[in-house]
């Protein structure tokens, strides 16, 4: 039995609203190290919802994402320091970062796959160098304090609300033609262009949109944390963001949440010592990639489909892994 579309969308909206409420309760009540874990999962989920557009739907592994996160954090902190009102700071920080996203998208518009990954990684390395060395503005390697723009409670409310709203925005975007176009780009960019998809524009929009999510998450993170430092925005973080999306299940609505929970959980709760938890995460990523190639969520959906009786056949919502694409001799 399948519910009508309207009912399912209402269900999704209710679920996301409940998630926001749960997030608020946890943010408010969980203290100490665990509180930090909750915060990071919420912040990452907001940021990674953007990455889930460009990487998850579009198949472009952007390692620039942590830089957009940094952009939101540092720009808002800098502008707050100049005495501007918080709303203006937040708007300018997100807007400025989207501009950076536009530049990144234009610069790397002709690169694909690993070249795109390397290019955007380079961008993140440069941003991190600037954050570390432009001490007058950024506070240098030790970071800088962030003035309080929102009250703590306002920050918590915004974090919790943004969690649900970001995922909701993704849910809507993924169902529009924009979502289909991104999926087409991931499947075969050249073919997409040859059925009329303006691929360059689609990628540009996806990149700029993804930078907005990252920047807004950065604004909220800076507000909550009160201090920001370059070590929070390294390309290792960006790589972990990619890993989180892959682990969660690229392009799936809850991939940012599930992926963040796994990655943050590993790196924060299991304090095996610096480096070791990342190695463990790498091993986990490889295992998941081999065992459940569509991520944790993809694996669960696949399992569900197998055990649920009486739904053999039907349109494949779940893309088959093997692509019959025989090479034809020319």
Partner 1 sequence: MTALLTVDGVVKRYGGLAAVDGVSFTLNAGGVLGLIGPNGSGKTTLLGVLAGTHEPTAGSVAIDGRVASGRGAHRAVRAGIARTFQTTRLFGSWTLRDALRLARGEARGRSGAASDETIAGLLSLDGLLDRPCGSLTSAAQRLAMIALALATGPRVLLLDEPAVGMDTAESAALAAAVRRVADELGVAVVVVDHNMHFLMPLADTVLVMAAGAVLATGTPEEIRSNEAVIASYLGGA
Among 140, 169, 180, 236, binds partner 1 (CB under 8 A): 180
Q: How far is the CB of 314 from partner 1 (least distance, A)?
A: 8
How many angstroms separate the CA atoms of 43 and 1, rounded?
36
- With contact defined as beta carbons under 8 Å apart, do 259 and 243 qualify? yes
Verify binding: residue 197, partner 1, rule CB under 8 A.
yes
Minimal CA–CA distance to 212: which of 170, 262, 259, 154? 170
Tokens of 326: 């025989």
Nearer to partner 1, 83 or 190 (CB): 190
Which of 65, 144, 181, 252 lies at the binding interface for partner 1 (CB under 8 A)?
181
Name which position in 23, 46, 184, 217 contacts partner 1 (CB under 8 A). 184
Write down the least CB distance from residue 203 to partner 1, Å.
12
DSSP 3-state of 55: helix
Residues across the chain: 330
Q: Is 191 in the site for partner 1 (CB under 8 A)?
A: yes
Rank residues 147 and 188 by Cβ distance to partner 1 and give the closer one: 188
Least CB distance from residue 109 to partner 1, whole Å? 13
Which is nearer to partner 1, 192 or 263 (by Cβ)?
Answer: 192
Alpha helices in the chain (DSSP H): 5-29, 32-51, 65-81, 86-107, 113-133, 135-138, 152-175, 177-194, 199-225, 235-248, 255-264, 276-291, 295-307
Separation between Cα atoms, residue 115 and residue 300, nearest integer Å: 32
Rounded to the nearest whole angstrom, what is the least distance from the CB of residue 148 to partner 1 in the complex?
A: 47
CB of 82 or CB of 321, closer to partner 1: 321
Bridge-based pairing of strands 144-145 and 227-228 is antiparallel
- 235-294 residues in contact with partner 1 (CB under 8 A) are none
Sign of CA dihedral 23, 73, 128, 101: positive
- By beta-carbon proximity to partner 1, the closer residue of 33 and 318 is 318
Can residue 307 be called a binding residue for partner 1 (CB under 8 A)?
no
Residues 309-328 that bind partner 1 (CB under 8 A): 315-316, 319-320, 322-328
Q: Which of 264, 250, 233 is nearest to 66 (CA)?
A: 233
Task: Tell me how far, at minimum, the Cβ of 173 lies from partner 1, in Å.
Answer: 16
Q: Measure the N-to-C terminal CA separation of the chain; round to a whole number of Å.
A: 48
Which residues ranging from 160 to 179 are in contact with partner 1 (CB under 8 A)?
177
Distance, CA of 190 to CA of 197 (rounded, Å): 9
Residue 199 near partner 1 by CB under 8 A? yes
Residues lying near partner 1 in the complex (CB under 8 A): 177, 180-181, 183-184, 187-188, 190-191, 193-200, 315-316, 319-320, 322-330
């Amino acid at each position: 039995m399948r519910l009508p579309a309207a009912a399912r969308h209402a269900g999704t909206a209710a679920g996301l609203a409940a998630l926001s409420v749960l997030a608020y309760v946890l943010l408010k009540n969980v203290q100490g190290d665990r509180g930090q874990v909750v915060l990071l999962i919420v912040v990452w989920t907001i940021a990674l919802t953007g990455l889930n557009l460009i990487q998850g739907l579009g198949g472009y592994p952007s390692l620039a994402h942590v830089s957009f996160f940094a952009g939101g954090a540092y720009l808002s902190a800098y502008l707050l320091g100049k005495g501007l009102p918080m709303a203006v700071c937040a708007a300018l920080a997100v807007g400025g970062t989207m501009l950076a996203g536009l530049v990144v998208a234009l610069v790397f518009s002709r690169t694909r796959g690993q070249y795109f990954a390397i290019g955007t990684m380079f961008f993140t390395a440069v941003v991190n160098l600037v954050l570390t060395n432009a001490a007058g503005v950024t506070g240098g390697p030790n970071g800088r304090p962030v003035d309080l723009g929102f009250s703590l409670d306002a920050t918590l409310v915004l974090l919790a609300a943004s969690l649900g709203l970001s995922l909701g925005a993704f849910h809507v975007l993924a169902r529009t033609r924009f979502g289909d176009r991104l999926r087409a780009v991931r499947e075969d960019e050249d073919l997409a262009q040859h059925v009329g998809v303006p691929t360059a524009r689609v990628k540009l929009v996806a990149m700029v949109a993804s930078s907005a999510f990252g920047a807004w998450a950065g604004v909220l993170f800076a507000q909550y944390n009160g201090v920001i430092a370059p070590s929070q925005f390294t390309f290792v973080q960006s790589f972990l963001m990619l890993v989180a999306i892959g682990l969660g299940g690229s392009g799936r609505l809850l991939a940012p949440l599930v992926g963040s929970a796994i990655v943050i959980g590993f790196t924060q709760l299991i304090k095996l010592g610096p480096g070791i938890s990342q190695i463990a995460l790498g091993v986990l990523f490889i295992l998941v990639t081999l065992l459940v190639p569509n991520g944790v969520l993809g694996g669960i959906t696949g399992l569900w489909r197998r055990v649920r009786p009486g739904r053999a056949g039907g349109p494949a919502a779940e893309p088959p892994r093997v692509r019959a694409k025989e090479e034809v001799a020319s």
